[in-house]
Amino acid sequence: MDSRPIGVFDSGIGGLTVIGEIMKLLPDEELIYFGDTARVPYGSKSAETVTKFSRQIFNFLLSYNVKVIVIACSTASSNSYDSLQSEFDIPIIEVLSPGVEDAAHVTRNKIVGVIGTEATIRSGKYVKLLEERIPGVRAFAKACPLFVPLAEEGWTQNTVTRITAEIYLQELLDKEIDSLILGCTHYPLLVDCIRDVIGPVKIINAAESTARKLKAYLIKQDIQNKAHKLGGGHRFFVSDNTDKFRRICNLVMRQTYEAQKIDLEKYL
């Protein structure tokens, strides 16, 4: 066993959907969360910039002696995972391959859609992973840049969000996808509107898939926390002020956690 905490980070507060799933599946683990709210979003920025920001966050999380780091951000997972893995000597769980694994089990017609931020889709990583994992797959990816701002505005169920979803998703429906990966940790917040638009297409929530993968990894390595403290030691950090964190935390987790603001520039 290993009672050290698990580090989790996201560009902002989308990663809280992953935190929520981890808490359900692994109630004994302590979590250290960092949300880069001063520089959110990552999804519209370059791979180089996202990797630089992620590196600072790794250094910050390592200062808390974490046993594993979960990159709860698809943009950082798709643009920075390879660099981070070669630079840091810590196990890393990213959010892409768990969703791909689930898609492999769910799809019948092998036509799979994936939606994400501009940077995630531009990286081509999801399509590559799907093609490697599912022989003969036809994978179609679509960037949905307005979904994050819509989720953060709290417009999770209104007309604007539904029409936006129709505009973004029609071309995937035209390809006859039978499953759709929500390839951004914000998107589960919009799942009702997305479901209205895609009807019977199966939805794969990468946040959920990632929590399951993390659990399997801890068991396999025998590094679970068996101290049974029931997560009393969770700590939340953000780079901008904490008001917005509190608001979104309530929206996502239906529970309030207090965050602490820290200055990342020390962790170059």
Interaction of residue 195 with a second copy, rule CB under 8 A: no
Taking the least distance from each CB to a second copy, the nearer of 13 and 103 is 13
Taking the least distance from each CB to a second copy, the nearer of 24 and 266 is 266
Given candidates 10, 20, 21, 45, which one binds a second copy under the rule CB under 8 A? 45
Residues 229-258 that bind a second copy (CB under 8 A): 239-241, 243-244
CB 77 within 8 A of CB 94: yes
Largest CA distance in the chain: 51
Among the listed residues 73, 144, 193, 249, the single catalytic one is: 73
Amino acid of residue 16: L
Among the listed residues 144, 184, 193, 249, the single catalytic one is: 184
Q: Point out which span in 62-70, 147-155, 169-177, 197-205 binds a second copy (CB under 8 A).
A: 147-155
The answer to whether residue 73 is catalytic is yes
Q: Extract the tokens encoding 42.
A: 């990552």
Cα 99 to Cα 104: distance, rounded to the nearest angstrom: 9
Interaction of residue 152 with a second copy, rule CB under 8 A: yes
Given candidates 120, 164, 179, 210, which one binds a second copy under the rule CB under 8 A? 164
Residues 79-118 that bind a second copy (CB under 8 A): none
The answer to whether residue 249 is catalytic is no
Minimum distance of a second copy from residue 121's CB (angstroms): 14
Minimum distance of a second copy from residue 37's CB (angstroms): 7
Given candidates 2, 23, 49, 156, which one binds a second copy under the rule CB under 8 A? 49
Interaction of residue 171 with a second copy, rule CB under 8 A: no
Q: Which residues bind a second copy (CB under 8 A)?
A: 37-40, 44-46, 48-49, 145-146, 148-150, 152-153, 155, 158-160, 163-164, 167, 239-241, 243-244, 265, 268
Catalytic site positions: 73, 184
